[in-house]
């Protein structure tokens, strides 16, 4: 098990043996990160953050992201949390930064309601302290994170949904029934008799959306590459198979699922000659979740079929 993901059972929260069933702290879930947990005083848990790439040859000294859950805390119990050995984040907390909390799997995330105390231990290390009173049933699970998480599972679910709606295969499937006329050029009778599905087909074909697995992570997770532009008939079937083959030859780890490989299932991106390329990248570091939400906003904008700015950019 990676050292940043695990489970810790705390035998007793106080000297009186308040909780014989043990409180459980866990980071064994998508995007979880916690290096160690200790009971350092009555009702006070010290959470140590695992460093980036913990337990691998690529381990670094950087550590900021934390995300853990706490279960089996008796109702009305107030716990104090000390998050130690963080990277220097004093400027953020000076301006009101607070960790977030969620009660259960379906509730929304909120900022910690109480005060957050912070201090610099050294030039490299920083720690924060906050308290939380558990008001839900003992069996409930509370989640705590450095900021709003956006997990790999959520990312893949969104990309699957977008691919099903806008993907190249969808465009090709729609075209098998013949080219759909643009809404402005369709005769009134056609507009009157066309169903919602036909209208959506016409709209979908204005956008070219291609998803490819650029590479796999060390834990075999997808690193996706999206190509978004307008879908012109003249661009169809100009697959860059030769170009992709050259890339794969020079770097075998790229495009692992390409049809240019034996047994590959993902077709290459269409070629759009003469079009400028704008490359957008977000969340270079796994803990930079705010940039994921920024990118999601951009993705929603660039896929807007009615916004004239998005249409022009595509």
pLDDT score at 309: 95
Q: Where are the domains of the chain?
A: 7-145, 152-174+205-313
pLDDT score at 292: 93
* Bridge partner residues of 213 (DSSP): 224
| pLDDT-flagged residues of the chain (< 50) | 1-3, 15-18, 177-199, 202-204, 234
CA 305 remoteness from chain centre: 24
How would you class 12 by CB atoms within 10 Å of its CB: exposed for 0-12, middle for 13-18, buried for 19 or more?
middle
pLDDT score at 107: 85
Write out pLDDT tens, residues 250-282: 788 888 888 878 778 888 888 787 888 999 998
CB atoms closer than 10 angstroms to residue 233: 9
User: Is pTM, for the whole model, over 0.85?
Assistant: no
pLDDT score at 174: 52
How would you class 218 by CB atoms within 10 Å of its CB: exposed for 0-12, middle for 13-18, buried for 19 or more?
exposed
The answer as to CATH 2.60.40.3120 being correct for domain 7-145 is yes
Q: Is 56 helix (H, G, I), strand (E, B) or coil?
A: coil
């Amino acid at each position: 098990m990676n050292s940043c993901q695990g489970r810790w059972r705390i035998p007793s929260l106080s000297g009186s043996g308040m909780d014989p069933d043990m409180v459980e702290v866990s980071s064994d879930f998508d995007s979880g990160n916690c290096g160690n947990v200790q009971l350092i005083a009555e009702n006070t848990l010290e959470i140590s953050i695992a460093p980036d790439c913990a337990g691998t040859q690529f381990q670094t000294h950087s550590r900021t992201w934390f995300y853990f859950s706490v279960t089996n805390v008796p109702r009305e119990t107030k716990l104090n949390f000390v998050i130690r050995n963080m990277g220097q984040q004093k400027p953020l907390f000076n301006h009101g930064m607070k960790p977030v909390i969620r009660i259960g799997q379906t509730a929304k995330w909120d900022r910690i309601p109480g005060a957050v105390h912070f201090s610099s231990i050294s030039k490299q290390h920083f720690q924060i302290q906050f308290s939380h009173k558990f008001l839900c049933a003992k069996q409930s699970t509370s989640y705590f994170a450095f900021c709003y998480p956006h997990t790999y599972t959520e990312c893949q679910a969104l990309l699957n949904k977008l691919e099903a709606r806008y993907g190249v295969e969808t465009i090709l499937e729609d075209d098998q029934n013949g080219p759909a006329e643009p809404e402005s050029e369709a005769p009134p009778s056609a507009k009157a008799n066309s169903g919602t599905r036909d209208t959506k087909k016409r709209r979908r074909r204005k956008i070219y959306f291609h998803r490819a697995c650029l590479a796999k992570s060390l834990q075999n997770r997808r690193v996706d590459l999206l190509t978004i532009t307008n879908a012109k008939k003249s661009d169809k079937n100009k697959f860059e198979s030769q170009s992709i083959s050259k890339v794969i030859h020079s770097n075998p780890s790229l495009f692992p699922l390409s049809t240019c490989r034996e047994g590959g299932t993902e077709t290459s991106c269409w070629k759009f000659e003469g079009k400028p390329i704008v490359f957008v990248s977000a969340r270079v570091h796994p803990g930079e979740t705010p940039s994921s939400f920024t990118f999601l906003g951009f993705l929603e904008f660039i896929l807007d079929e009615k916004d004239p700015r998005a249409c022009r950019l595509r």
